[in-house]
Amino acid sequence: MGKVLDIPAMMEAMNAARSQGRTTVLCHGAFDIPHAGHVRHLEEAKTFGDILVVGVTPANVVAAHKGDDRPRIDDDDRLFHLAALACVDYVFLDTFGVGHGPDAIRALKPDIFCKGIDYAAVGLPPVLAEAAAEVGAAVRFTSSPKDSTSRILRPDAATYPDATLAWLEGFRGRHTTGEVLEAVRGLEKLRVLVMSDSTDVDESEHIVEELQGSPDEDFPAVRIMEKSDVPGVANVLQGHLSTFVAHTEALTQRQTVRTEGFLARCGDRLRQVFATTEGPNELLTEGEEDEIIERLEQLLPEVDVCLVADYGRGLFTPIIRHIIEKRAPFLAGTVKSYFGNYPNNPATKWNHMDLLVLNHAEVELALSQPNPSDRAWLDCMYVIETEGERGLNLTDPRQRGKPRACPSLALDIADPLGSGDAILSIAGPLLATGTDPEVVAFLSSCAAALHCQVVQNSRFLDRYALLKFAMGLMLTPEADAPKRKP
């Protein structure tokens, strides 16, 4: 019997090992372009038992998770490379179920399931942890230094400037991994109310090709290449929160506003060319307002945090704003100034928020209003100002403390639109639970970095992914951190 086995032979080998009382260890992964980090991981994993089995994720599953250009090495070659290692006893292509581990664990029933050092702080993904628990497999993590196939394939992409590396080094000196982990875990029991006038919204986005106009044309001309429907903002906020908190509730108006965005590709990024909107930007009728007030009176006593996304489309009347401001246990929100309402929706329309999240243009609009100092701007416990690729600043206007600046942690930016919503959905609950503001700034920047990798809100934030990203930055020694030439 060779080392590379099909599924029936793999099952037979595991049964034979069990009958002989030998301890089996299962490792699993893509192993695309095997490198020294893989070898160190597998050699250490072998020391945990008698038989080391390696499951390899099929190419179609790797592509679905890592992109169409992966894996760089086909299934047969990855199996061959792993089988050549002396520490490996058996290798198989994981065609059990979904192909990324849980079904293989259930079928093979190893004594130990082993992952690398980058999983040690955050633990296994829930689907793997559940599968291991079902079959009684012990979970072990290797301590060998890690490496990254993605970094090997794209050495100039996964990089941070020296100033960002210096900030991360300082942050690691001021805060522990345990502090960051507990901050996220502390959200598990929260109940959150989400309010927005951009939920029951018919939204779509078009990927376009910009066309060359004649010299006397001063308007953009485009050819539509792709079209997709996208969720409204309240749905997005609920989606971001879904794996972090115990419960979310959405409260929106019934009016339908249709928006269409037109985005052009600039290399591997998207840039908004123009957008259209149609539908009412009017206050609610008296009957509609009464319905919202009745629901608010029912919901606000039952929640810990209220998140609002105010697009100036009529939901947040003066009376509704007053009720939210007075009765929300912790009020966090964003007040958007965009193509459909600028400059008629400044943040200063609100009298109070515990957290206000604005981009630089929205800050400038708020400061330009008459007498802004006696409005929400200085009656906020915290303000986060987002500055795109420069990162974000978290300030506490009441205390007039030093701003907590966090640089951008995004490396792969596919679509930066909507990163402010990701920041709001994380920062609001974190501050509501008393998390240190600098830790909030760091995790908010991590959330924005992850969201920038997603095109058109096609995927929401995930608690496990956020923790793994944050721990990767907390645990990476300065010598091994990705570096960019100044």
Q: Which residue has the tokens 């095997």?
A: 34
Q: What are phi and psi of 21, to 5 degrees?
A: 75, 25
pLDDT 10s digits, 405-447: 999 998 876 666 778 999 999 999 999 999 999 999 999 999 9
Q: Please name every residue paired with 262 in a beta bridge, in sequence order, or none if there are none.
A: 206, 274
Q: Please name every residue paired with 265 in a beta bridge, in sequence order, or none if there are none.
A: 270
The conformation of residue 145, written as its DSSP 8-state character, comes to P
Cα dihedral 232→234→237→239 (10° resolution): -70
Hey, what CATH topology would domain 178-480 get?
UDP-N-acetylmuramoyl-L-alanine:D-glutamate ligase (3.40.1190)
- Name, in order, each residue with C-beta under 8 angstroms of 461's C-beta and a sequence gap of 6 or more: 239, 240, 243, 244, 422, 425, 426, 447, 450, 451
Regarding predicted confidence, which is higher, 211 or 245?
A: 245
Q: What are phi and psi of 236, to 5 degrees?
A: -65, -45
- Rounded to an integer, the average pLDDT of 331-342 is 77
Hey, what CATH topology would domain 4-148 get?
Rossmann fold (3.40.50)
Quote the CA–CA distance of 258 and 198 in Å, as a whole number: 10
Q: Whole-structure pTM over 0.85, yes or no? A: no
Q: Spell out the long-range contacts of 215-222 with Cβ–Cβ below 8 A and sequence spacing 24 or more.
A: 220/273, 220/274, 222/262, 222/264, 222/273
- Rounded to an integer, the average pLDDT of 145-157 is 54
Q: Start-end ranges of CATH 3.40.50.620 in the chain? A: 4-148
Q: Which of 429, 461, 196 is nearest to 313 (CA)?
A: 196
Amino acid at 453: Q
Q: Start-end ranges of CATH 3.40.1190.20 in the chain? A: 178-480
pLDDT 10s digits, 40-56: 999 999 999 999 999 99
pLDDT 10s digits, 437-457: 999 999 999 999 998 877 666
Average pLDDT, the chain: 82
